[in-house]
A = this chain, B = another copy of it.
Amino acid sequence: MPELRKDPIIGRWVIISTERSKRPDQFANSGEGPTEQECPFCEGSESKTPAEIYAIRPHHSEPNTPGWKLRVVSSIAPFLRIEGELERQGKGLYDMMNGVGAHEIIVETNQHINNICDLNEEDIAKVFTSYIDRITDLEKDQRFKYVLVFKNYGWSAGGGRIRHSRSQLIATPVNPKRVKEELAGSHAYYNYHERCIFCDLIKQEMDTKERIILEADGFIAVCPFAARFPFEVWILPKKHSCDFTSLDMPMRLNLAYIMKQVLSKLKKGLNDPPYNYILHTAPFRRPSKAGYWKTIDRDYHWHIEIMPRITRVAGFEWGTGFYICPLPPEDAAKFLREIKV
């Protein structure tokens, strides 16, 4: 059983994963790179994955058989386990709980396509629909506080040996530290200014235009002012909303358009780089919550952060939480703006 453990000094939670454990000596530095394996995610290989939790497939077709457009399955080596009650315990000064949660793989297409930007917009919108449906379902489980949706594309972004296009989600019984920091920061800004900080940021970016990559129906794509990485991109909905799951189908199609544009620009301009993207959306807002949790709808603004992995993160960043970005975001935005896709 995996464990969730809390750093006693700064309060960061860590999953100590036991499911995918190797022996200590198997971690030795091998310098090994990617080698393609037989793909378990293609149509016709349904028996090679755990049973499907969710699928977009014709209504007469059987689960775990061909014919689907998109499938969600449990991870074969889950970071967290769905079974069991959540138990918190102390060990001297340390806090821990058992690793209850969900870890699911969203297989985005039945074809062996690698990069989501090579799907058509309608199929990309289906991916967002599956995120919404899975988050909404997992919200019913009172053990969970947050669902983190992310994508690892390419070997050095943690994408693994199989290149079939997919996303992952993890439902966690704790709120991630970064999420709490964003909520606290946007709450403090609202209290002072009586405006959403993200709405203000969007307005300022649309005025100055220097960090805008693309403006489209309902969304903008910008390189953030304090970018951590070269070509870091945030996609923000222009209309205030804290919750990704409230996105209707026309807006999902708009989001699919801008995501396809931006990811295609990265692919073309930077020679198909590895990247991660992360959905930043509000945690589950349950009635029992107090403090700044009461005003999340007002304070927070969902968005997607895309991080190409083209520079190595060195020791400086790990030790301090502050980053060195070797390319001004204004230059990155100009470069991406000018790439035609």
The residues of A with any CB-CB pair to B shorter than 8 Å are 3, 5-18, 20-22, 24-25, 27-30, 79, 91-94, 148, 150-152, 155-158, 168, 170, 172, 174, 176-179, 181-182, 185-186, 189, 197-198, 200-201, 204, 208, 224-228, 230-231, 269-274, 276-280, 305, 307, 310-316, 318-329, 331-332, 334-335
Pick the most buried of A156, A273, A316: most chain B CB atoms within 10 A of its CB.
Answer: A316
B178 pairs with A13, CB closer than 8 A: no
Point out the residues of chain B lying under 8 angstroms from A3, CB to CB: 328
Compute how far the CA of A198 lies from the CA of B9 in the bound complex, rounded to whole angstroms.
8
Can you offer 13 A-B residue contacts whose CB atoms are under 8 A? A9-B181, A9-B197, A12-B228, A14-B324, A21-B327, A27-B231, A93-B201, A148-B319, A152-B314, A174-B322, A178-B319, A307-B315, A307-B318
**Nearest chain B CB to A164's CB is how many angstroms away?**
16
Compute how far the CA of A77 lies from the CA of B312 in the bound complex, rounded to whole angstroms.
16
**Nearest chain B CB to A240's CB is how many angstroms away?**
15
B17, B172, B226, B272: the one within 8 Å of A14 (CB) = B226
Point out the residues of chain B lying under 8 angstroms from A323, CB to CB: 12, 14-15
B10, B18, B27: the one within 8 Å of A328 (CB) = B18
Query: With A276-B315, A335-B25 given, is the CB distance from A9 to B186 under 8 Å?
Result: yes
B276 pairs with A314, CB closer than 8 A: yes
Point out the residues of chain B lying under 8 angstroms from A322, CB to CB: 12-15, 172, 174, 176-178
Query: With A14-B322, A177-B320 given, is the CB distance from A314 to B24 under 8 Å?
Result: no
B310 pairs with A185, CB closer than 8 A: no
Query: With A316-B150, A332-B24 given, is the CB distance from A227 to B8 under 8 Å?
Result: no
Compute how far the CA of A155 lies from the CA of B33 in the bound complex, rounded to whole angstroms.
14
B278 pairs with A331, CB closer than 8 A: no
A230 pairs with B27, CB closer than 8 A: yes
A7 pairs with B318, CB closer than 8 A: no
B24, B151, B170, B204: the one within 8 Å of A335 (CB) = B24
B6, B28, B231: the one within 8 Å of A269 (CB) = B28
Compute how far the CA of A11 lies from the CA of B180 in the bound complex, rounded to whole angstroms.
13
Point out the residues of chain B lying under 8 angstroms from A24, CB to CB: 230-231, 269, 327, 331-332, 334-335
Compute how far the CA of A321 lies from the CA of B180 in the bound complex, rounded to whole angstroms.
10
